[in-house]
Every structure is written in C-alpha cells, then in structure tokens.
A and B are shown apart, each in its own frame.
Chain A
Amino acid sequence: MKVSDIIEKLNLKVTGGDEGLQNEVTGGYTSDLLSDVMGNVDEGQVWITLQTHRNVMAVASLKEVAAVIIVKDLEADENTISQSNDEGIPLLSSSMEAFELSGELYKLLNER
C-alpha cells in the first residue's frame, strides 16, 4: 500500500512533502516522544503523532518513515511544513484522535 492510498482511504489532508506520496507503507507507529520514535520507528512506517515541532520532520527523515500524520487537526508549525517539503516526506493531517486513527490504519494495513 502506498501513502496516496492511505490518504484516500483515511480521508487525510496533505500539508507538505508531495514528493513522497508514492512511498510504500510497511506499517505504523504511534508516539509523541521523539526520543522514543528515534529508537523504535522502522523505515517505511507511517508515524502518528500530536507533536507539530520541526524536529518531527528531522526525526522522520533520519528514520526514513513513509509519512507523518498529525492528529486532531493540529496545525503543523510553518518550518515543519517547509522541512517536510525539503525532505520529500509527506506531512499529513487527520481530524481523528491518535487512538482512532491508529485503529483505522491498523485495520487498513492488515485487511489483505
């Protein structure tokens, strides 16, 4: 499944990083502690978080995640969006809470 498929099925908005919309998604990881994400997210996973700081995109790039989804319609900081564009890693947004979104993504990735 690609990032673009997830966007369509989970009704996500694209805030930045269009270049990576064809990234292959291997799984998901939900966490708001960047130190934890640095240690535990795997390459190709979609990272679900409520953090909006620019460091999110730096960690996303370091760990080569497929995309980042910010929950609850929280607004990403401006330099977070610009870094998402620079890195070509999609920065997505959802109106769902992390619990709900994680459940939906889990279902989607495990349905076939």
Chain B
Amino acid sequence: MKRFKADLHMHTVLSPCGSLEMSPGMIVKTALERGLDIIGITDHNSTRQCAEVYRVGKEKGLTVICGAEVTTKEEVHCLTFFENFEKLEAFQKYLDEHLPNIENDTDKFGHQVWVNENEEIQGQEERLLISALNQSIDEIEQKVRELNGLFIPAHIFRPSYSVYSQLGFMPFDITPDAIGMSARVDVEEQIVKHPELKQYTVIRSSDAHFPEQIGTHYSVIELAEASFGELKMAFHQEEGRKVVELR
C-alpha cells in the first residue's frame, strides 16, 4: 500500500462562485505544486468541466476523479463521483433533467463557463447552477447507486447546505460511501455525539474556489494505486485500503 494525498472537493471556473482563475491548467499545476496525488472536481450541479481537467491531469501525472457537488431538493450539498465518462455523461443527463430553469445572472452570481487547457471558452451553462435540483437526497443517492458511483454528503455539520442543518440528522434510508467534515469540526467529538456516523469513513477536503485554497485540506489515503476503484475500497475499508489521516 502507498499513501496518497487526496483533495476531493473543489470548484472550477464553471461554478458561479468559482474563481475565473480555476482553469484546468491552473488547478492541475497548483495541485501538483501542493503535493497532491488525487483531486476531485466537484462543480455545483454540473460535470462539464471534468473531462478537460482529467485530460490535463493525466498528461501531467495527477489523478483526477470526476463528479459534481449536487444540491438536493432539501438543499443539502453532496459530492458524487463516477468511474468513467459514460457514467459521468449519464449523470449529467440526470442533472440536466432535474435542474430548474432559473436563468443565471452573471452580474450577481458570476460566470458559468467551461474552458479548455488554453483557457478558451468551450461552452456556457445558462441555468443557475447553485439552484437546488428537484430531486430528494434519497432519489439522488439512488441514481448514483444505479451508476455505480460514489455518494458523499459534503461538510455535514456546516450551518447551511448540510445534512445536519437541513435534515437534522443522517436519514436512515441512505448509506453514504463516506461523509465529509470541514476542518473546523472535531471529528472524534462529533462521532461521540452522533454514534450513527461511526460506521462511515470521514474525508476532509479544501472545497477550494480559488487556486490558493487547493490542498489547504486533504485526506491521506492508503491505496495500491490512485484510482476510482481503489478510493471506493478505501471508503469501505476493504483489503487494507483506508483513510489514515485528515489534514
């Protein structure tokens, strides 16, 4: 087993709140400078910037896991990841079907574009990506399961947009692959307070919106190699794979 540094939650230029500097090239360059081995691309309710970051990452030796940070009907943020582009596209179709038709106001919320390695605009999302999907957390989890993806409620104790703020506690009917906790949360203290969470692997990530935030927080994970399948095994603590440290 080897140790990998994984920062699995960050936004790109595509998220309205993501800095225009968060281009594929800048993200990959900064992640490598910070010593990360694996990053997750998680824009709000869209996967459309993933492929280019993946491609640039592959060229430069950084493993990029593709997904999105979805907003459920209850306004809970959850990370989702998929093992290949076929599954990712199927999930994008689901997002397109369930994102409400509310137009983005670029002056208020920022631009929602995806770009190539040379920072040339490849497309623009017209609908506001920070809206909530019209699907419940249970329905979205089920869709992710159908596509054999990873489902990870994000920053679960944040006072807004989290499982605990919106729904009071972890719903009994969902079984996340892992749960995210912010750096300011004392994980051990929370597990004592919420023993129902003991069964889940906890990850920590930067939730970077600007290049300088990339890798400010990450999880150290023991894997045979950096891949989607190995991460899934680590979250379920299979065959020696596991998250060993939160930084």
Please list the residues of chain A having a beta carbon within 8 angstroms of any beta carbon in chain B.
33-35, 37-38, 51-55, 58-59, 77, 79
**For residue A34, which residues in chain B have a CB less than 8 angstroms away from its CB?**
166-169
CB nearest to A79 among chain B residues: B173
Measured CB to CB, the closest approach of chain A to B242, in angstroms, equals 30
The answer for the CA separation of A54 and B168 in the assembled complex, in Å, is 11
Q: Which of B137, B159, B164 contacts A53 (CB 8 A)?
A: B137
Pick the most buried of B166, B171, B172, B173: most chain A CB atoms within 10 A of its CB.
B166
Query: In the complex, A105 Cα to B74 Cα: how many Å?
Result: 25
Contact across chains for A58 and B168 when beta carbons are under 8 A apart = yes
- Give 14 CB contacts A-B under 8 Å: A33-B166, A34-B168, A34-B169, A35-B166, A35-B168, A37-B168, A38-B168, A51-B167, A53-B74, A53-B137, A53-B167, A54-B138, A55-B169, A58-B168
Q: How far is the CB of B61 from chain A (nearest CB, A)?
A: 42
CB within 8 Å: A-B pair count:
39
- Report chain A residues within 8 Å CB of B136: 52-53, 77
Please name the residue on chain B nearest to A51 by beta carbon. Answer: B74
**Per-position 1/0 for B1-34, Cβ under 8 A of A:** 0000000000000000000000000000000000
Instruction: Determine the distance from Cα of A110 to Cα of B117 in the docked complex, in whole angstroms.
Output: 65
Instruction: Tell me if B104 is interfacial: C-beta within 8 Å of chain A.
Output: no
Query: Is B165 at the interface (CB under 8 A from chain A)?
Result: yes
Q: Which of B163-214 contact A (CB under 8 A)?
A: 164-169, 171-173
Q: Which residues from A are CB-within-8-Å of B173?
A: 54, 79
Q: Which residue of A lies closest to B162 (CB)?
A: A35
Q: In B99-156, which residues have CB < 8 Å from any A CB?
A: 136-138
Given A53-B137, A53-B171, A58-B169, verify A35-B74 contact (CB < 8 Å).
no
Q: Which residues of A contact B167 (CB under 8 A)?
A: 34, 51, 53, 55
Contacts of A33 in B (CB 8 A): 165-166
Main secondary structure of the interface of B (DSSP, over half): loop
Provide the bound-state CA to CA distance between A59 and B29, in Å: 46
| CA gap between A13 and B164 in the complex, in Å | 29
Q: Once bound together, how far apart are the Cα atoms of A53 and B139, in whole Å?
A: 11
How far is it, in angstroms, between the C-alpha of A72 and the C-alpha of B171 when the chains are bound? 24
- Chain A residues, Cβ within 8 Å of B172: 54, 58
Which residue of chain B has its CB nearest to the CB of A59?
B168
- For A37, what are the chain B residues with a Cβ–Cβ distance below 8 Å? 168
| Beyond known contacts A53-B138, A54-B173, A58-B169: 8 more, CB 8 A cutoff | A34-B167, A34-B168, A34-B169, A52-B136, A54-B172, A55-B171, A77-B136, A79-B173
Question: Which residue of A38, A52, A54 is within 8 Å of B171 (Cβ)?
Answer: A54
- A55 cross-chain contacts in B, Cβ below 8 A: 167-169, 171
Chain A residues, Cβ within 8 Å of B168: 34-35, 37-38, 55, 58-59
In whole angstroms, how far apart are the Cα atoms of A10 and B5 in the complex?
57
Smallest distance from the beta carbon of A64 to chain B beta carbons, Å? 15
- B166: chain A residues within 8 A (beta carbon): 33-35, 51
